[in-house]
Amino acid sequence: MNQVEMDSRKNVEGFLNRHWSRKRRMSPRYSMRALARDLGCSPSFASRLLSGKKTLSVDLARRIRKPLGLDSVSARELESLMVQSTLAKKGLKRAVREQVRVRHRDIEKY
């Protein structure tokens, strides 16, 4: 397994992509529109979710459990991935704020 495959197993987008791939293997006609219907969103929003350009809200995550046929283990995995994603984003925001603060201080010195 390469690094990209390992990373995709560790995030919400990877989880949703695995689910979509599984559904497509079972039924090749399972389209992005069908996934969007199951998620209760537009096809463009579903596409952005799969690509990681949009994040899955907690509310949507709760609503999609049943339509996607997630068992309790998969539902817990999705929740865990969402928590990890949220924490990582908060950490990134803190790091960016700190960088801005440091650079602002450096500019004020001159």
Residue pointed to by tokens 């459990």: 65
pLDDT tens per residue across span 35-87: 999 888 899 999 998 888 888 877 788 888 888 888 888 888 888 888 777 77
85 Cβ contact list (under 8 Å, min separation 6): 11, 12, 55
- Alpha carbon distance 69, 100 (integer Å): 44
Residue 6 pLDDT > 50, yes or no?
A: no
Is 48 within 8 Å of 54 (Cβ atoms)? yes
pTM over 0.85? The answer is no
More confident residue, 101 or 16: 16
Main-chain dihedrals φ then ψ at residue 30, nearest 5 degrees: -70, 110
Longest Cα–Cα distance of the chain, Å, equals 64
Report which of 28, 23, 43, 29 is spatially closest to residue 15, judged by C-alpha positions.
23
